Structure 1
């Protein structure tokens, strides 16, 4: 991907100040009697909201019909999407789930610069957090959701252990909770692999991935603390699964948590897609929510992953860019409300949040600890960051810490290897 053509150009990145033809072109379809079919690629299963969204749009817009294509948001799934666009298959809109994915697609000239559209101001609609999604000062997609990450907790297990639902806590405190909640041979804490490394990024996104002299900061003391803490929990406390076990077994962490087997889970808002599904994931306990803990003792300068997400781009090669833009505006301003059932809350100030909250909880309201849910989803004012580290560095870093957790190299060797490889990357990309 990185070897493909360079950046697409034009525009000031405001989300639209230079052209107002999108609506006119889309309206023209109705006047001529032509029906345009758009294909939108996303990572959410269609039955978890997307199909309901698409059906509502298609009913209201007979001249612009949308088909949803699901890809799995992993390496293979993202490669499938990229290949489809590169080879000219039908992709009109697509969802990026990280800034690194979006940046690569911009570099490869696959994402349209949205500043050509003048009738929608992304900054005004989505607020200050949208700024994190600008690439070279421009929007090549629209962030559409609020994206909280959290620790999901079995409230019944907490009550039985006499533990309060935490608000402001550290990884050391989470470790103690895991020991107290561990039952028999079961674990006390499990993690979805997507946010696994977030504690490092919560530190380095603020203090810098590089030091003032331009060299790698992956030997930051809190990086070492993260590695040590998890290693102890895996091997000494036995309160969280060894990484090798989790990777080789492809542990279904949501199912494990919702079955009541493990009482704490590090995950994002997509958990609600499963926790609201009592057919496939029956449960008899109430779920509470807590902020992802921090590594540092002090809360000063702490940020947590979150902000906005589901960055939807228009394919730069799409033959129906105007129609795609009309759909994207409608989606962002409230059409996406059914997505809240899977934890995807609309970010636009013009979306009806009451509709979204109703969709989020459905008829399962009584199965959640509402006080902690409202705090984590809506009230927590902790600053957030969007992961922006280049994918190459993320992959390199993961390769090295996996060796450590698998016992293939020492802690010091791991830190040194990460620093050396990061420095090599920095030299090659000056």
Structure 2
């Protein structure tokens, strides 16, 4: 699929950014991956080392705050490897932050490694020539180390990065509130059942369920990852009956039940959903394992309740064939324009096989079979282990055998559908018009992509 419009937008912004910032640091800006692969990568790294008096300097861009693990990882590496020093650069994993990262790579700023959080973003960067093909390195078997789920990150049969974490998505629950309402911690539930929980847990004018806008469409992707984003005739499947059910259900929770915030309120207030959950204000939060970097922080987020965990609910009644978002995540790529690809690869192997252990404190468990999982779990819970329902935590992270998907729908499709469903949730477009608009725009995209 071609993404000329996106590239043109990036290029235009890059020109403006370069003009304002003096084009930034252009080290390595004209480098490109060679057909010979590993040989050039190795010689480039060597050249970089010699040019800096024997020390290679790397920069890794990621979306996790430095204090939530990355800085400790960098410090540990730098102590052990005086010949290769690495610096962490944080970018916020939202539209603006991803644009900042892409612009930095296009303008030749120092980016040696970068973390992708969706396959959609990764595909864009591969097409733009930003991500190196890791098949040039033959001393590490990603499939063997990470397991079968790693293959979900392949693009055209190749790895342009390495998935490094076990990525768990779940509904975090205020266990004390559940107990008071006589509700059990679910191990398998539907969206309708979750909606009833929200009604029973709602108190006064408060809400029973909350989430960031990023995972809004996960129920839709859970359905379409299995049933297909297109039908047998090649046309859009965005009018799938369960897409309609999701729209109606979430809108009903906003406007009829008043158990979850209206989208307009959430957007205008920049609602701090994690804080609202951890303060005890809202008893259910749809989120991922990164919650633990906040829930372990009693200084900024003091709480007096135990947190339990439930799988993300499904839209369909039948559990057969149900998929949930998760699997492996934090897909780390090497910049194809980096002069220090071999050094970056050395760091990446170390990181994946255990160097990333401090990241567990922020909920990021290593995916590699050679990493110490017990140590990572201990790090994840820290001295706050007694404030979690460990049985439900272990279930959602390790024991839940529901098949997982990595969100792979093209960014253009994600954008067009969110633009349309936001109109519905904001009350400016009815349900039928919303579905018709999503299907029409998706079909236009499919025609242009042929």
TM-score of Structure 1 vs Structure 2, range by shorter chain: over 0.9
Structure 2 residue aligned with 1:86: 106
Instruction: Give CA deviations for 1:121-170 in whole Å, capped at 9, x if unaligned.
Output: 10000000000000111000000000000000000000000000001000
TM-score by length of 1: 0.95
* 5+ residue gaps, structure 2: 9-31
Check conservation: 1:21, 1:117, Cα contact below 8 A.
Answer: no
CA gap 1:156/1:26 in 2 versus in 1, 3 angstroms: farther
Tell me whether 18-27 or 276-285 shows the greater mean CA deviation.
18-27
Instruction: Give CA deviations for 1:361-402 in whole Å, capped at 9, x if unaligned.
Output: 000000000000000011111100000000000000000000
Check conservation: 1:404, 1:414, Cα contact below 8 A.
Answer: yes
CA RMSD of aligned residues (A): 2.1
CA gap 1:337/1:23 in 2 versus in 1, 3 angstroms: farther
Any runs of at least 4 consecutive aligned residues in structure 1 with deviations exceeding 4 A, and if so which?
A: 7-11, 18-30
Structure 2 residue aligned with 1:383: 403
Check conservation: 2:188, 2:313, Cα contact below 8 A.
Answer: yes
- Give, in angstroms, the shift of residue 193 of structure 1: 1.6
Structure 1 residue aligned with 2:346: 326
Q: Match for 1:43 among 63, 69, 79?
A: 63
Check conservation: 1:9, 1:113, Cα contact below 8 A.
Answer: no
- 1:269-288 matches, within 5 Å, as 269-288=289-308
Partners of 2:44 and 2:412 in 1: CA distance: 42
Partners of 1:128 and 1:347 in 2: CA distance: 11
Check conservation: 1:49, 1:341, Cα contact below 8 A.
Answer: yes
> Does structure 1 residue 115 correspond to structure 2 residue 135?
yes
Q: Match for 1:371 among 391, 403, 408?
A: 391
* 5+ residue gaps, structure 1: none
> Does structure 1 residue 152 correspond to structure 2 residue 172?
yes
Structure 2 residue aligned with 1:420: 440
- Give, in angstroms, the shift of residue 51 of structure 1: 0.3
Structure 2 residue aligned with 1:2: 3
- Give, in angstroms, the shift of residue 358 of structure 1: 1.1
Partners of 1:305 and 1:19 in 2: CA distance: 38
Structure 2 residue aligned with 1:76: 96
- Give, in angstroms, the shift of residue 247 of structure 1: 1.0
Structure 2 residue aligned with 1:344: 364
Number of residue equivalences: 423
Q: Match for 1:192 among 204, 212, 234?
A: 212
> Does structure 1 residue 164 correspond to structure 2 residue 165?
no
Check conservation: 2:34, 2:40, Cα contact below 8 A.
Answer: no
- Give, in angstroms, the shift of residue 35 of structure 1: 0.7
Instruction: Give CA deviations for 1:196-228 in whole Å, capped at 9, x if unaligned.
Output: 110000000000000000000000000000001
Partners of 1:66 and 1:58 in 2: CA distance: 7
